[in-house]
A = this chain, B = another copy of it.
């Protein structure tokens, strides 16, 4: 029985950290006072303590205590006993590298499949997919594998950006990059725009927030999915 929030971004333009998700978070974590924070994505290279302090402020708003996974002597045990977990954004390569080096990828996956309520934003959402191969991040470290949690049967592209028709830049658009991914891989990709999130309850995956999402499947034209729709592949 999976219970997940998989969000494109932690912060929407003009908003505060996680403020647009307050209601959904309160519902996801309703059965626990304490949530474990997975700080390894290190946005801007900040320390695990600094990052935990930042995220903890947003959790105070919903009356929850946030505890950094890095503070436990036995993080595997901590994940097994956890009643809630949140992975913040940053660099997906750094996050995935840390989860492998600390041997936490499998324990986290198992905990989520056993029903651990989990929230991810950005890099913390990327790792919910089959692989991290549709991240937008720079490969600033070399992880042992690109495989990730696979707690949803597709990949994500968070912070999805539509092509800008005014642009004179000749770098690839996001859509071109995902099409290139599909020359090498068969896994579907959901382009999740900022302010959008997925709510996973068991086998049901629902698109939430005001915006549509863009779905990419190998050999098909990309198509839009409406907010409120259930995602099926």
Contact = CB atoms under 8 A, between A and B. Distances in A.
Given A13-B168, A159-B170, A159-B171, A45 B180 contact: yes
Contact of A138 (B91, B159, B169, B180): B180
Interface size class of A (residues with CB under 8 A): 35 or more
A136 B176 CA distance: 13
Given A13-B170, A171-B136, A145 B142 contact: yes
B137 A132 contact: no
Q: Is the interface of A mostly helix, strand, loop or mixed?
A: loop
Interface of A: 9, 11-14, 42-45, 90-91, 93-94, 132-142, 145-146, 159, 161, 168-172, 176-185, 194
Contacts of A12: 170
A9 B132 contact: no
A132 to B, nearest CB: 7
A139 B139 contact: yes
The listed residue with most B CB atoms (<10 A of its CB), out of A9, A42, A137, A184, is A184
Which one of A93, A140, A179, A185 has the greatest number of beta carbons of chain B within 10 Å? A140
